[in-house]
Amino acid sequence: MSNQMFHTSKSFDQDLTETTDLFLEMGALAGQQVAQAMHALIEGDMHLAHQVVEQDSAVNQLEVLIDERILLLVAKRQPAARDLRYVMAVSKGVVDIERIGDEAAKIAHMAQQVAADNSGTYSYHEVQHLSNQVRLMLHSALAAFEHLQVERAFDVMRSDGNVDFEYQSAMRALMTYVMEDPRQVSHVINLMWILRALERIGDHARNIAELVIYISSGTDVRHSDFETVQQAIDASKIG
């Protein structure tokens, strides 16, 4: 762990490092699930889609394991101040990552429906574009968490606005398309669910980024405007 938390107890650091490693492993696994679900969709790879749905339980098991570790860590070590914020943040973060795994499984499930349906002619251009954006967000959010980089976390928060904009515009494009060719309704609705899942993954990545700022600054920025976030970051640098 490179986030420069030093403690007198070697063992506490070890506990924290192990928990962080599990958290990052869980995040990487969920990210991989999203990538594979998208690959399954675009290539029509039903074997891979099935695999993504099956592997969701691995993400879920990590959630349970990490929360167990956190409970033990808090009970045994009684962390305070930033350490306590850190473990509480991990406890929140696993919920977001578990949901990302769920959304990946939903996309994989939709990939199966899209392949079975086989009637669609609408391209995956917008879906793939949005997918690339949210996967980058998740990757940055996890890296920001690993190294406790507040500026990088703030970038993730800001990029969620772009994702929402792209999402809205892709939804409008799909709506126009289905109005012109109502026979595509079933295909279009499947694509809409996928867009929604991607947009949700972006939200969860943003939540993880907010936790990074919370750990470092002590300010809960979950429902704050960007000006307040900037102030919290600035104050944490002085403090």
Tokens representing 143 are 């890296």
Instruction: Look at the alpha carbons of 35, 39, 41, 45 in this order and tell me if their dihedral is positive or negative.
Output: negative
The count of C-alpha atoms lying within 13 angstroms of the C-alpha of 167, restricted to the half-sphere facing its C-beta, is 21
Choosing from 14, 43, 95, 172, the residue that interacts with its own copies (CB under 8 A) is: 95
* Count of CA atoms in the C-beta half-sphere (13 A) of 93: 35
Interface pick for its own copies out of 24, 48, 74, 143 (rule CB under 8 A): 74
Specify the 3-state DSSP secondary structure of 9.
Answer: coil
Residue 21 interacting with its own copies (CB under 8 A)? no
- Pick the binder of its own copies from 11, 14, 57, 228 (CB under 8 A): 57
* Residue 80 interacting with its own copies (CB under 8 A): yes
Q: Does 139 bind its own copies (CB under 8 A)?
A: no
Q: Where are the alpha helices (DSSP H) in 78-124?
A: 81-117
- Report the phi/psi class of residue 80: left, alpha or beta, with left for phi > 0 and alpha for psi in -120 to 50: beta
| Site mask for its own copies (CB under 8 A), range 189-218, x = bound | x--x---x----------------------
Q: How many residues bind its own copies (CB under 8 A)?
A: 33
- CA distance linking residue 149 with residue 129, whole number of Å: 26
Q: Binding to its own copies (CB under 8 A): which residues in 142-181?
A: 175, 178-179
Residues at the site binding its own copies, with contacts judged by CB under 8 A? 57, 60-61, 63-64, 67-68, 70-71, 74-75, 78, 80-81, 84-85, 88, 91-92, 95, 175, 178-179, 182-183, 185-186, 189, 192, 196, 220, 222-223
